Each structure stands twice: as C-alpha cells, then as structure tokens.
Amino acid sequence: MTDKKTITIALAGNPNSGKTTIFNNITGTRQKVGNWPGVTVEKKEGLIRKFGYDLKIVDLPGTYSLTPFSIEEIVARDFVLDESPDVIIDIIDASNLERSLYLATQLREIDSKVLFALNMADVARLNGTKIDAEMLSDLLAVPVVFTVGNKNEGIDNLLQEAIKLAETAPAEKEKRNVKYNKDIENAISKIQNLIEEKVKEKINYKSRWTAIKLLEDDKIVKERFAGKTGAEGEEILEETRNLRTYLLNHFDEDAEIVMTDDRYGFIAGIIKEVQTTTARDRVDFSRNIDLVLTNRFIGFPIFIFFIWAMFQLTFTLGAYPMDWIESGVNLISSFAGNIVPESLLKDLLINGIIGGVGSVIVFLPNILILFFCIALLEDTGYMARAAFLMDKIMHLIGLHGKSFIPMLMGFGCNVPAIMATRTLESEKDRILTILITPFMSCSAKLPVYIVLAGTFFAAKAGNVIFSLYLLGIVLSILSGRLFRSTLLKGVDAPFVMELPPYRVPMLKSLMIHMWDRSKIFLKRMGGVILVGSVIVWTLSAFPRNIEYSLDYSFEMNRVNESFNLKIAAAGDEDKEVFKKERIAAIIGLQKAMNAEKTEKSYMGRIGKGISPVFEPLGIDWRGSVSLLTGFFAKEIVVSTLGVLYSTEGHDDKDALKKALRSSGMTPLSALSMMVFVLLYLPCFAAISMIRKETASFKWTAFSIIYTTSVAWIAAFCVFQGGKMLGFL
C-alpha cells in the first residue's frame, strides 16, 4: 500500500487513440510543457487535485510499441522503466482494438500497474463493434474503463480506477502475460535464471522482461545491461547469442519476429473472446468522407480551398479585435504621454517600448485564429489527409507525404517543424526536409503580411497572404527537386500514411492547443521583441545632437507668424482655411525634421549603408534595416517599422499605415518586401535548430545563404517585373 497522497499517472497509447484529448480533459490549462531530458521531444505534465489526491498526469509520446525504433518510443519506454509511475493508463482505440493491444501486451510484460481506457467507444458502437470489457479485464488481469474522450465521458471513473489501482498491492508476478511457444519460453527461462543467479542485484528491470529484450536483441537494453553487469553480464549475453542462433536455425526467422508473431497470436485469441461485430450493414463515415476529401481529382482543390479559407478567416475576422487592441495601445500611449514629463525616458517609453511592442501585440487575435484553425485541422483528422494528398507531389522531389507533416507544422513555427524531421528514417530525407521547411511561412511573419497587405491591398489582403503561403510551398518543392538532383541524390523511402478516423473536435481541446502555441507569441513580447524594440529605439534616437540642413524651429515660427497675419486680415470663411493650411504646413515641417533626424541617427546610417542591396527590390532604407533586425525574430520587422515611423506625426490607431503610405512605399514595393520576408533566412532560433539537427555548420551556412539568395531573386523579379508590366 502506498501512503503518499501524490500519485503519478502516465498516459500511454497509439497515435490518434485520443490520448491527448483525454490529457487535456483531465488537466485543462494546468499543464507544463517542455522537453524530455536530453531530447527535443515535447513533454507534457499536469498536476490536479482530485478525489483527495494530488494527481501528476504525464502525457507520454504516442507510440505503437515499446520496441525502440524512434525517439518517441525510447522516451515512453524509459519513463515507464526508470521513473516507475504509480499507474499507467493505456489509452486504447476501441474501434481498432487489435492494433492497440500490441502496446498493451508490452506494457503488461513490464509488470507495471496498468489500466485500460477503451476510448472512442461511441465510434466502436457506430462501427457495429461490441467489446466485453469484463472479459478483457479477466483475461489480462487489468481494470478496464470505457471512455469517450471528445465528450468527456468516463474520465472521472477512469481517475477513480487509477487511484484505486495505485492504492492496491502489486499483482501476482508475471500473471497472465503473453505465453510464447515452447522453444521461446525455454530460451527466456534460461536467460532469466542466469540473470537471477548472477546479476539480479545489478539491474533495475524485471528479470523476465530483461530476458525477453535480450532475446529480441534490443540494442539499448543490451548496452545498459552490459554497462551494469560487467564480466558476468557478458557471459549472459554470450548465452543469449547462442540461443538466438539456435532459434534462427529452428524457425528460420529471427527470435524477435517469432515473438512478435506470438504476441499477435495471443492478441487474436483475446479478440475472439472479447469482441463481436454485428452482421448488420453499417456506414463507415470516415471512409465515405475520404471518398471526397482524398479524391484524386477534387481532393487537392478542396485542400487548397481550406488553406485559403483559413487565411481569409485569419485576416477578416481578426481585423475586429485587432482594432480594439490597437485602440487600447493608443490609449496607453496617450496616458503615458500625459503623465510622464518630457524626457529621454518618455521617448523610450512611448516610441520605443509601447510603439515597438504595441505594433506587434495587436496581431495576437490573428495568431490565435491561425492556431485555432491549425488545431481544428489536426483534431478532426484532416491534417493526415493533407499529408496523404501531398504524397504524390512530394514524390516529385524524392520525398513522401510524411515529410509534409513537418512542413505543415512550419505554418506555426519553424523550430518545432525542424525538430519534427526526427521522425524521418533517412538522413538525406531529414536534411532535405530541413532545408526546404523554412520556406513554409511561420506565424511570426504573419504580422508583417497583415501590416503591408492591409495597408496597400485592403479588401484583397486575404488573397495576397494566401498567395504568399502558396508561393512558399511551390518554392520549397522546386528547391527540393533541385537538391535531390544535385546535393542529396537518392531514392525516397517507402512509407504508409495512416489515416485516422474523422472526429468531432472538442472545443476545450481546441482552445488548449490554441493557447499553448499562442503563449509562445506572448512570451516573445516580453523577451526578444521588447529587447529588439529598445535596441532599435536606441539606435534611432542617438546621437542626440544632429546638424539639420534647415533651422526647422525658425521655419515653424516664420510659417506661424505668416499665417497669423493672414488669419487676422481674412474673413470668417478664409480664416478656417488658413488655420488648416497653417496646421498642415507645420506638420509637414515636423515630419521633415523627424525624417532627417532618423536618417542621421545610427539606425539611419546602418540603413543607408545596406540600402543599395535592397534598392533594386523597391525597399527603402527603413525597410532594409527592418529586414536586418528580423534575423533575431520576424516579428521585430514590424516593431522596427513601428519605432522608425513613430515620429511621423500621426496620433490615431492607423498611424503606421498612414506613415507607410506617405513614405513613398507602393503596393508593388510592399509585395516585394513581403516576398523577401517570406523567403529570407530563418530567425536565430530556427538557425540554431538547423545547426543542432543537421550537426553541421556547412548545412546551416548553406541554408542561410540559399534562402536569402532565393528571397532576393524572387523579390527582384516581383518588383522589376511589376515595373515592366506597369504595376506600381
């Protein structure tokens, strides 16, 4: 019996079994997200108080087995073995019981306290499948609970059973595990006896499980076993090699293949006992929907429509809350301007911090909507169909649909997208996917598009943004074809794309996914965006002593006096006209003075120095220096523009848009700048991840040079080609 009030519960299960939905239902927003120690695989934990206990819920990576073929499988297995959670809840897809039970049998072999959650029971019933949970519980000696994760059914019962199991004494050792054929069992017994006689005190794992893994030639277990047991362990490993040779000669198959067949035979026997399928005709909704959504002729146009609709929704629906936040930022700026006395600190606060950070935070609604749409595509099961649809196109560049999954993740952020390439088996496939993924426009670039497209393309902004994302996909495919033909020659690896059943997404789960990803955006507001804005303001505010080409104070006084004389001598109607002309003339002089001040600042000097590189693209020195700061984070492009244009004399919420229009930027040059932002070098975090995942400075440098070169050429073609065609 355990006397502690904190119970650790690990959630295990196959991908698409509904594990994450159940985790979100249990923990809600009380989640801590990080990486597992030593690997860049996401780790999720939640701590809740329920039924008088503190429950620590750990969401293990989705895996089909505990055989270590992928990082996810290694992480899941190591946690179960090394951390020894009080209870493991195996989330089983009730509509696909046979596949799910393979992982379940392996968890049973570890002799941990395991609880089965037969999830998606409603889908199983719809498919005409009936499962005898009581019989399944008896056959495997594990508690079984039915759940419907997306409807929050059975969750409390599941936790109560987990607590009850944690508080019970350990079950009888090795009770009702898989029984292998006689020769395999004899081999397991021999190795197990040797372990218990010679090295039992030196290893932490169960002796039978260790014997099974050694017989399966599990490399990780062998390495750990050899490292802890020394010479005695080497004797056991030698005996294991002899037994494997004997079994190979006897079965004409490796021992692990024979044992896998035995497991599936064991599972088949269970299925016959516990599962019945009604003979009535049933409707397979997922299959019927797939007849349309994955159709060879209309599937791809539908996919393009969904992506187009996503960006239309992001821009149009996001415009309303964006205006509210923008008004709030302006109120804060006005309030600060009224209470803070004129000083360098006031300039920093209003033009540097509020102007820089505020110009980016207004795009939070757009980011939220984008991530909500991506979560919707994932939770419904459509994201896997998108990869399936892209499979034929990906084969053109020597990749398969699986490589498109990291690229789709790139719509959110390139950093986890690059990390996701770890699931690809071939090193060349991984490097190729890493090189082309930065062309997928991440959410950090969205604020740049919204500012420029909203300013210069108005009602067509959604279509323009969609075209940019489409351009990124096209150029990534063309680049992939080039690389596969030259630098990374090879054939694509075979791959079968699993298509999970369609599910009705749960609003709570969608909101959690959306918020988890948007938190990163908000954290950047107080981190890299704030620091970048202060640096940009500092460079644009100094030196303080500038020699102007004109005595602006004298000119303003002269203009003021001249109009005062005209107003005094004019009639009532003319007075109002002269007053407006006086205000316009003074504002014009203020703008000219501020523009000259900015041009002669350190930031202006940097911008003027690099502007010849960007002039053929139609980008002025302000745009040039904004692109330079975008190396650290793409959102800083907007905050830099916000700081550089903060002294243009506009006080309303459309200040930046008006400043951009009056700066000489045209729709064509704005489009050129958006194309450059889409394609040029990734942010610093993404570059660091490329270096880490490729383990090569060469590939990292190549990625920087190639993406920036493609960006310059593409932007040049857009601007110069547009000028030749008469577009301005």
Q: What is the CATH number of domain 182-277?
A: 1.10.287.1770
In sequence order, what DSSP letters do the residues of 303-321 get, joined into one string?
HHHHHHHHHHHHHHTTHHH
H-helix or E-strand spanning residue 49: strand 42-50
Residue range(s) of every CATH 1.10.287.1770 domain in the chain? 182-277
Nearest to 662, CA basis, from 553, 584, 602? 584
Place of tokens 């000489």: 664
Return d(Cα 306, Cα 326) in angstroms, integer.
29
Sheet of 6-13: strands edge to edge? 31-35, 42-50, 53-59, 6-13, 87-93, 114-119, 144-146
Query: Do 490 and 484 touch, CB atoms closer than 8 A?
Result: yes
DSSP string, 637-689: HHHHHHHHTTTSS--STTHHHHHHHHTT--HHHHHHHHHHHHHS---HHHHHH
Q: 681 Cβ partners below 8 Å, 6+ apart?
A: 438, 631, 687, 703, 704, 707, 708, 711
Cis peptide before 543 (omega within 30 of 0): yes
Confidence of residue 41 (pLDDT cuts 50, 70, 90): low
Averaged pLDDT for residues 342-361: 78
CATH dotted code for 6-166: 3.40.50.300
Domain(s) labelled CATH 3.40.50.300 in the chain stretch across: 6-166
**What is the rounded distance in angstroms from the CA atom of residue 455 to the CA atom of residue 463?**
14
DSSP character at residue 130: E
d(CA 13, CA 93): 8
> Which residue is associated with the tokens 């088996």?
425
pLDDT at 701: 93
pLDDT at residue number 706: 94
- Say whether pLDDT at 671 is over 90: yes
d(CA 43, CA 34): 5
H helices then E strands: how many in the chain? 34, 9
Q: What are phi and psi of 249, to 5 degrees?
A: -70, -35
pLDDT value of residue 1: 42
- Residue 275 phi/psi, 5-degree rounding, is -115, 135
**Does residue 518 register a pLDDT over 80?**
no
Question: Which DSSP letter does residue 117 get?
Answer: E
Using one digit for the tens of pLDDT, what is the confidence trace for 277-298? 764 444 466 677 888 888 878 8
List, as one string, the DSSP characters of 410-470.
TTT-HHHHHHGGGG-S-HHHHHHHHHHGGGSPPGGGHHHHHHHHHHHTGGGHHHHHHHHHH
- Overall size of the chain counted in residues: 728
pLDDT of residue 284: 61
Count of beta carbons in the 10 Å neighbourhood of residue 262: 17
Res 534 pLDDT > 80: yes
Question: pLDDT value at position 649?
Answer: 43
- Tell me the per-residue pLDDT of 451-491, one tens digit each, with 9 for 90 and over: 888 888 877 888 888 899 889 988 988 898 888 888 887 65
Mean pLDDT score, 299-312: 84
The residue type at 359: S
pLDDT tens per residue, range 57-77:
998 888 888 776 667 777 888
Rounded Cα distance, 326 and 320, in Å:
10
pTM over 0.75: no
> Six-digit token pair at 259?
């044992």
At residue 715 the predicted structure's pLDDT band, cuts being 50, 70 and 90, is very high
Structure tokens at 328: 């709030």
